[in-house]
Structure 1
Amino acid sequence: MSDLVINQKVLPDISKSKWDQNTYSGRVKHYFASANPMTLFTSSATQEKCRKIVLDYKKGVISPDLTMDQLWRAKILYDSMYHPDTGEKMFCLGRMSAQMPANMVITGLLLSFYRTCPGVIFSHWINQSFNAIVNYTNRSGNSKTTNQQLFYSYCFATGAATTAALGLNMMVKNSHGLAARLVPFVAVAAANAINIPMVRANELIDGIELCDENDQLVGKSRQLAALSIAQVTLSRIAMAMPDMVLSPVIMNRFTRTAYYKARPLIQKYSEMPIQTFLTGIGLYFTTPLGCALFPQKSAIEVSKLEASVQKDILARDHAPKVVFYNKGL
């Protein structure tokens, strides 16, 4: 069979994605595959089989029956489940594939319980608990975040989101229109700007890991750590924006219709199901589109790094001219 891996004149390089990660469209295709929620439901046996295929292939061990399609399927599942730097299996709720189903429910809560103080506190507590799990799971490289740092970031982000939401609600308390419905998005954006840098504070202090083309650690850069964290923060806000802005717009229009006003039961019970459904549709697209805004693994010339980092790298034997780093997700 011509599609057998062993029959290929040039073996595919699975250390890279199936799609070109230097282009936005290539990154979108990659994340549509790796952030697919269906990967959450694969069996342990399938996961282990895919892991073995990938790890054996990297060692040069190739089954004579392995097809190209099987290889890439295994690689995509492996990418969705295992951390790209540590190789450890990621907690299921922290994976990008969990973003759509988990955030669908959480955003439905945020957009439905934004008017009352208990609803605001509860929904933002749930959201920031989930965000803390995602941020910790997808931190860059072998960065060690202490339990104390994680706890502080969680408390500050939850406090910031709740304070922003309650404060903004006070400002628009007499409004039942679109302005009030957009409060959850502003609060979530503010919390992301606090939570992500705090969870990854060690990278700002020690620097993000820099590796050569053989994945050997050659240095650390605080400058790139700051850039990576800013990119991740922007990506997360961009992922939340469409569903947390468009859903309120649609719901606001719907609540003004004669059909809605004439049906008390729909007024009482429809808001959360409708917004959860709309959010789910939006997140299916915005999760890969947001993740793809910036490359996860990037290359940079050593000459563009901080002077002290350049000095350390160039002092090594066979010093690389280009290094690579993982910004995280």
Structure 2
Amino acid sequence: MANERLDLDKPLWDLNNFVGRWKYFAWMTDFRTCIEPESELLAAKKLCEQYRLGKEPADTTREQVIYAKKLYESAFHPDTGELQNVFGRMSFQVPGGMAITGAMLQFYRTTQAVVFWQWVNQSFNALVNYTNRNANSPITTYQLGAAYVSATAAAMITAIGCKSYWQKRASPLMARYVPFAAVAAANCANIPLMRQNEIKSGVDLIDEDGRKLAKSKLAAVKGISQVVISRIIMCAPGMLILPPIMERLEKYAWMQKIKPLHGPIQILMCGVSLTFMVPTACALFPQNCSIKTSTLQRWEPENYELLKKNCEAGEIPRYLYFNKGL
């Protein structure tokens, strides 16, 4: 190993600016990590634990430690340290998202197809939202079911409503935007419902040293709002730019001859879009959100009192931090 040891609890890039966050999330959401077997992931976790204690094998290289850190952060939950379901990881957003988004964009002409693919998409989204939640705020099976049903219903109602309206009053191109309208509406319902306990009970707030000092409902609302915006932006380029491109391409004679390939072509283009947009959307806002203690004092006096109680021996920090989830 090189003389300079890595601090595995710190990122390899500066997360205080967008470029640093983009590089980090492009590294952490690398979809190639999804094919790593569970044994490799557990070995990576073990190596990280050994390295923190200075007990890693003598022939361990710096590159091996960095790759172990990458596997750990892509596959294990940051709050609990538990191995995440592979289909719910952010690193699965590109292969999973490209297949479902491409199918939604391709099969939009019939109501049955719209309903089916919106159901598939919301099932996938529910799994992703649950997997990447703030795990310090547990959610019951009933709440999970209510969130899933509500989000799926919101997606289907929006999709069917837009399809019916645009089919009668708008151009064929507008019908291609039905999936995006449905996805945006569903995200606005799915994510807050899936993480409703954070809004009801608040999320843990920590200082720069990692000490839990208070809770905040406003912080939960802020974090969840940022996640909703990020998720919509993540899928927006592919779902907004691809429809006019496909509308134009499908008019060419050579495209008419390869109709069975229209779906795979859209899936491939969605994959290209998501490869760039997954890290971009994740990097829009800092992972560790901040909230001013003066905000607590003004809007959540009971939580500010808890903060004062926990800071009796020292000065009250100006900012507190929390994990917003992904």
TM-score w.r.t. the length of structure 2 is 0.92
Q: CA deviation at 1:83?
A: 0.7
1:65 to 49, 59, 62: 59
What is residue 238 of structure 1 aligned with on the other side?
Answer: 233
Amino acid aligned to 1:173 = Q
TM-score w.r.t. the length of structure 1 is 0.91
1:15 to 9, 24, 31: 9
1:302 to 283, 293, 299: 293
Deviation track 1:252-282 (CA, whole Å, cap 9, x = no partner) reads: 111223444xx4x534x23312211111111
1:91 to 85, 92, 95: 85
User: How many pairs does the alignment contain?
Assistant: 319
Deviation track 1:96-130 (CA, whole Å, cap 9, x = no partner) reads: 01100011111112111211111011100000000
- The gaps in structure 2 that reach 5 residues or longer are none
Structure 1 contact 178–249 (Cα < 8 Å) conserved = yes
Structure 2 contact 89–132 (Cα < 8 Å) conserved = yes
Q: CA deviation at 1:70?
A: 1.9
> Secondary structure of 2:325's partner?
coil
What is residue 291 of structure 1 aligned with on the other side?
Answer: 282
2:98 to 96, 104, 126: 104
What is residue 167 of structure 1 aligned with on the other side?
Answer: 161
Q: CA deviation at 1:300?
A: 4.0
Could you say if the C-alpha distance between residues 314 and 13 of structure 1 is closer, same or farther in structure 2, counting changes exceeding 3 Å? farther
Q: CA deviation at 1:214?
A: 4.3
1:183 to 168, 178, 182: 178
- Structure 2 distance, partners of 1:133, 1:85, is 17
What is residue 269 of structure 2 aligned with on the other side?
Answer: 278
**248-257 vs 82-91, which moves further:** 248-257
> Secondary structure of 2:213's partner?
strand
**144-153 vs 224-233, which moves further:** 144-153
Q: CA deviation at 1:237?
A: 0.1
- Structure 1 distance, partners of 2:137, 2:184, is 24
Structure 1 contact 228–327 (Cα < 8 Å) conserved = yes
Structure 1 contact 56–62 (Cα < 8 Å) conserved = yes
1:312 to 301, 306, 311: 306
What is residue 158 of structure 1 aligned with on the other side?
Answer: 152
- Structure 1 distance, partners of 2:35, 2:265, is 25
Structure 1 contact 141–209 (Cα < 8 Å) conserved = no
Structure 1 contact 39–77 (Cα < 8 Å) conserved = yes
1:245-260 to 2 correspondence within 5 Å?
A: 245-260=240-255
- Structure 2 distance, partners of 1:15, 1:310, is 28
- The gaps in structure 1 that reach 5 residues or longer are none
Structure 2 contact 34–92 (Cα < 8 Å) conserved = yes
Sequence identity percentage: 41
> Secondary structure of 1:107's partner?
helix
Q: CA deviation at 1:213?
A: 3.8
Structure 1 contact 107–279 (Cα < 8 Å) conserved = yes
What is residue 195 of structure 2 aligned with on the other side?
Answer: 200
- Structure 1 distance, partners of 2:307, 2:157, is 45
